[in-house]
Amino acid sequence: MAKKVIRINEATIRFAGDSGDGMQLTGTRFTEATAIVGNDLKTIPNYPSEIRAPLGTLAGVSAFQLMFGSQKVFTPGDLPDTLVAMNPAALKVHLRDLKKGGTILANSNAFTDKNLKMAGWEANPLEDGSLEGYTVFSIEMSKLVGKALENSDLTSKGIERTKNMFALGVLFWMYNRPIEPTEEWLRKKFGKNPSVAEANITAMKTGFNYGETTEIFTTSYAVEKADLPKGKYRNITGNVAVAYGLVAAAKKAGKELFLGSYPITPASEILHTLSTLRNHGVKTFQAEDEIAGIASAIGASYAGDLAVTTTSGPGMALKTEAIGLAIITELPLVIVNVQRGGPSTGMPTKMEQSDLLQAVVGRNSDARIPVLAAKDPADCFECAFEAARIAMKYMTPVILLSDGYLGQGSGPWQIPDPKTLPEIVVNHPSSADAGEDGFMPYARDENETRPWAIPGTPGLEHRIGGLEKENITGMVSQDAANHQLMTDIRARKVDNIKQDIPPSEIHGEPKGKLLVLGWGSTHGAIHVAVDRALAKGQSVSQMHLRWVSPFPSDLEEICNGFDEILIPEVNSGQLALLLKGELARKIHQLNIVRGEPFRASEIEDKINEILG
Amino acid sequence: MSETNIEIQDLNLTRKDFVPGNEVRWCPGCGDYSVLANMQKTLPVMGVKKENYAFISGIGCSSRFPYYMNTYGFHSIHGRAPAIASGVKLANPELAVWIITGDGDGFSIGGNHMIHALRRNIDMNIMLFNNRIYGLTKGQYSPTSLLGAKTKSSPFGSIDRPFNPSAVALGANATFISRALDVDAKGLQESIKRAQRHKGASFIEVYQNCIIFNDGEFSDVENKATRPDNALFVVHGEPMIFGKEQDKGIIMENHHPKVVQLGDKYSEKDLLVHDETNQIITNLLLEMTFDTSNPTPFGVLRAVEAPTYDEMMIEQIKAVTKIKGEGTLEDLFYSGDVWEVK
């Protein structure tokens, strides 16, 4: 019997299993195959903060979701169409999110009495009819790979571990994805251990053939290529994109890149990525703590490198005093905060946007700092590049806000031509720049930035530090008028950055009833919600802020063009608080703090509520 | 050791080149003045260009030091100088990096950075001004104040057991440790020279008198009359002899150092001979620090060779580049699975 192929525009799939089941890897392989097919996509991992929570428990469930489509995809999808559940705990945790009528693929061998009990199922849901309303494929994955690999040299435990590749194979068949790239990847990954590679490939093919030949599956789905702009693409996570953006900025500025960092979830991949790039001249310094991470970066900046420190919220708190030092010494520095749920240790592996106020105002004294935020994984590249450019142009530390959703989520990245990336012009004074009265470390140019004199340059010997300095001369000064002047200059330097912010783009009409204003990783969900509202004929537009300090100069004018403003944020209303001060008008808020991004439908509902 | 025979280029620098125009503002009579003067005297003859010196400090009286040196300098935040200096050195390995710190800055708030900077053996020089008191905050006990010290914050005597900073440095596996006295110009200059020449993290502990809040803390060794009987100046390869008449020495007894009178019973050949490469000897000397039955040891207590972090960083960059080739942005961007939309 020929099987039916149904064309669909988009699909959302969630892989869920025990944290030892290899769900992140399975999801990543599906993503790569999907990217190669030419669909647009977005992914999001969801894993526990314990490395290996007890096997089979609810706490130990790890998941990976992606949405892919033949049109532009802005989020990893709200509710999955298909859920892969490798054990009862995975089904228990994720069933509530599955779309009504959605598909479940379960490894029935894992639904033992013990596992069911551990996951809190009173009876086996695969058998008791409680999953009525869903399409359930209950497959003996463990048994099937066991049979397929009975002649392999792997131990029975090793064979059992290939069941994720079986599930992947079934999904590849179901969604008409090629298996060859994963085959190639497995051979490369297990190059030293060919029998493991071959066992995994066999398991994947067994899964694929299982879909193809058994009669339980009658239908597969095809998602056409997305109409993406012409060019070369690769899939990229936000953390890797940040690392690449920094390397690109360093090269375009003719600088060596220095990273001072202390490992922290969910930012560590930036450190990992940069540490592989020694042949790009990248110096990564895994410091003894968060403070040493930023302090070493400040030292490297003083000595002339493009310096960076990367962290997440609690680490940011520890770096606060040093950020003040970078502000008063007016040294270029990029500080990346991949935000997570807080306060304190909070929810390390879950996303949140709740460090906005910390970034914008969270320091002692009047200590303004430029802050920008990335909107999606690929945008992390541009934002990192821009943060570095601004830091060096204006001689200032810059905070780049990402979050766990962007950092560890992925999407296609249109690879830029390195030649077309803007050059970053950095001028260092030379010995000839020392005047008759010696070198003036706090002299000002047209942007009121001071010169970046590199130790080792004869004749420019000077001292900087955390004590207030006299403008121009850089001598220690506790003079009242000078402190007023320096505080004003430091603030003006941040405002001057407005001239580098291009006019804001509005999605939808430039004037209307409701403006949905966002920043950071809410971009995708807001975009989808606004698209749906526009399709219904509602008067709604989207504005997205890349710079949250300073705000773009056209912000107020754009806001004035709308009757109402809605700010959805994954925090308790931090941008709204800042904007209430800036705009002095009523602002509608939509705030969630559940450790997960918005669903577009939530924003859609709020839009309906406001517009009545 | 081997470093003493290095040929030093004469750069025609003098002390004056290292003195900036601004006024030095330590309390009159502070031990810091002597350390500053000896630094300014010694650096010109080290064969290092003036523009290649960078002085990095934290917070405290001694941390004002960079403002008084006409070199590159960074007066940073409390305790963090070793971390900032690490970044300076890694960004520009050509620089001769000096860290100036105090017992509060370096061993209380900055203790973590201190041990890690020493452990990594980054080629920098750390000079600790140990006055066993908090000066800038006006007289509280510090992590090196002795038990019983009566200070602003310990009116009934400190119940805080002190660090022996040089012993902490040894515990952190420092490759160079020396101890000097603020009033001993010769010893200071020797420590500065040796530290500057040493490849790796060098630690100099300076006993420094705080004339306002802890005056006389080190009087037994600062006072010229009592110093010879209370201080032991060690020299590599020489027996440990001290005393006004050079008539006392150190022997090892039951694995501990012991003072003996030279003469009938003991002669020079019975004495311990200093070996700055031998950790057991360094340990033994450090054990004498708080032991009133023994003199306080000064001089280069330890100097060993070990790979430095900064050199290994450069070597690793070279080695990886040799294998992978110099990285370009094209290589980087195309390092994943790439597809084309036509």
Tens of pLDDT, residues A267-306: 999 999 999 999 999 999 999 999 999 999 999 999 999 9
Provide the domain count of chain A: 4
Residue B53 · residue B69 · CB < 8 Å? yes
Residue B43 lies in a domain: yes
pLDDT number for residue A435? 85
Residue A202 lies in a domain: yes
Provide the domain count of chain B: 1
Percent of chain A with pLDDT over 90: 94
Which residues in chain A have their CB less than 8 angstroms from residue B327's CB?
Answer: 277, 279-281
User: Domain end: A173, A196, A223, which one?
Assistant: A223
Residue of A28, A31, A463 to mutate for B, most B C-beta atoms under 10 A: A463
Amino acid letter, residue A475: M
Residues A269, A152 within the same domain:
no
Q: What is the CATH number of the domain that holds A542?
A: 3.40.50.920
> Cβ neighbours of residue A402 under 8 Å, at least 6 residues apart?
A238, A239, A242, A267, A336, A337, A338, A339, A373, A374, A380, A383, A520, A521
pLDDT number for residue B276? 98
Residues A13, A96 within the same domain:
yes
Residues A96-149 have pLDDT tens digits of 999 999 999 999 999 999 999 999 999 999 999 999 999 999 999 999 999 999
Residue B8 lies in a domain: yes
Mean pLDDT score across all residues of chain A: 96
Number of neighbours of residue B156 by Cβ within 10 angstroms? 7
Residues A359, A487 within the same domain:
no
Residues A285, A146 within the same domain:
no
Structural domain of B162: 2-217
> Cβ neighbours of residue B224 under 8 Å, at least 6 residues apart?
none
Residues A449-459 have pLDDT tens digits of 999 999 999 99
Q: Which of B32, B83, B26, B36 is nearest to B56 (CA)?
A: B83
Structural domain of A61: 4-223
Cβ separation of B84 and A302 shorter than 8 Å? yes
pLDDT number for residue B2? 44
Residue A439 lies in a domain: yes
Residue A527 lies in a domain: yes
pLDDT number for residue B1? 45
Amino acid letter, residue A263: P
Residue B52, pLDDT above cutoff 60: yes
Q: What ipTM, to 2 d.p.?
A: 0.97
Q: pLDDT class for A513, splitting at 50, 70, 90?
A: very high
The whole-angstrom distance between B187's CA and the closest CA on chain A is: 28
**Among partner residues B73, B87, B324, which is closest to A260 by beta-carbon distance?**
B87
pLDDT number for residue B182? 97
Number of neighbours of residue B205 by Cβ within 10 angstroms? 27
**Among partner residues B72, B89, B112, which is closest to A288 by beta-carbon distance?**
B112
Residue A296 · residue A285 · CB < 8 Å? yes
Cβ separation of B94 and A38 shorter than 8 Å? no
Residue B320 lies in a domain: no
Residues A206, A239 within the same domain:
no
Residue B280 lies in a domain: no
pLDDT number for residue A437? 87
Residues A278, A358 within the same domain:
yes
Residues A477, A530 within the same domain:
no
H helix or E strand, kind and range, residue A252: helix A238-253
Alpha-carbon separation of residue B259 from A221, B226, B237 (angstroms): 90, 16, 19
Chain center to CA of B227: 21
Residues A234-275 have pLDDT tens digits of 999 999 999 999 999 999 999 999 999 999 999 999 999 999
pLDDT number for residue B6? 61
Residue A201 lies in a domain: yes
Residue B142 lies in a domain: yes
Residue B71, pLDDT above cutoff 50: yes
Residues A212, A86 within the same domain:
yes
Residue A219 lies in a domain: yes
| Over residues A377-387, mean pLDDT | 98
Which residues in chain B have their CB less than 8 angstroms from residue A292's CB?
Answer: 80, 83, 86, 112-113, 116
Residue B209 lies in a domain: yes
The whole-angstrom distance between B29's CA and the closest CA on chain A is: 23
Residue A19 · residue A47 · CB < 8 Å? yes
**Low-confidence winner among A62-71, B7-16, B191-200 (lowest mean pLDDT):** B7-16
Strands (E), chain B: 53-57, 72-75, 96-102, 125-130, 176-181, 202-207, 231-233, 241-242, 248-253, 256-261, 296-303, 338-341
Alpha-carbon separation of residue A91 from A122, A159, A165 (angstroms): 13, 23, 19
Residue B3, pLDDT above cutoff 70: no
Cβ separation of B324 and A279 shorter than 8 Å? yes
Q: What is the DSSP letter of B105?
A: I
Q: pLDDT class for A48, splitting at 50, 70, 90?
A: confident
Residue A53, pLDDT above cutoff 90: no
Q: For residue B14, give both structure tokens.
A: 């003098």
Residue B182 · residue B214 · CB < 8 Å? no
Residue B266 lies in a domain: no
User: Domain end: A170, A200, A223, which one?
Assistant: A223
Amino acid letter, residue B187: G
Residues B97-118 have pLDDT tens digits of 999 999 999 999 999 999 999 9
Residue A575, pLDDT above cutoff 50: yes
pLDDT number for residue A134? 96
Chain center to CA of A577: 24
| Over residues A562-582, mean pLDDT | 96
pLDDT number for residue B317? 98
| Over residues B312-334, mean pLDDT | 97
Mean pLDDT score across all residues of chain B: 96
Q: Is A446 exposed, middle or buried (0-12, 13-18, 19+ CB in 10 A)?
A: exposed
Q: What is the CATH number of the domain that holds A60?
A: 3.40.920.10
The whole-angstrom distance between A221's CA and the closest CA on chain B is: 22
Cβ separation of B334 and A247 shorter than 8 Å? no
d(CA A435, CA B315): 39
pLDDT number for residue B21? 85
Residues A314, A440 within the same domain:
no
The whole-angstrom distance between B110's CA and the closest CA on chain A is: 10
> Cβ neighbours of residue A51 under 8 Å, at least 6 residues apart?
A19
pLDDT number for residue A246? 98
**A148 in helix, strand or coil?**
helix
Number of neighbours of residue B183 by Cβ within 10 angstroms? 19
Residue of B75, B333, B340 to mutate for A, most A C-beta atoms under 10 A: B333
Q: Which residue has the higher pLDDT, B341 or A513?
A: A513
H helix or E strand, kind and range, residue A208: helix A194-213
Which residues in chain A have their CB less than 8 angstroms from residue B23's CB?
Answer: none
**Among partner residues A228, A283, A416, which is closest to B90 by beta-carbon distance?**
A283
| Over residues A364-375, mean pLDDT | 98
Q: What is the CATH number of the domain that holds B189?
A: 3.40.50.970
pLDDT number for residue A88? 97
The whole-angstrom distance between B15's CA and the closest CA on chain A is: 15
Residue B138 lies in a domain: yes
Residues A63, A151 within the same domain:
yes
The whole-angstrom distance between A297's CA and the closest CA on chain B is: 6
Percent of chain B with pLDDT over 70: 98
Cβ separation of B116 and A288 shorter than 8 Å? yes
Q: What is the CATH number of the domain that holds A381?
A: 3.40.50.970
Strand-by-strand arrangement of the B338-341 sheet? A410-414, A231-237, B338-341
Residues A386, A513 within the same domain:
no
pLDDT number for residue B5? 56
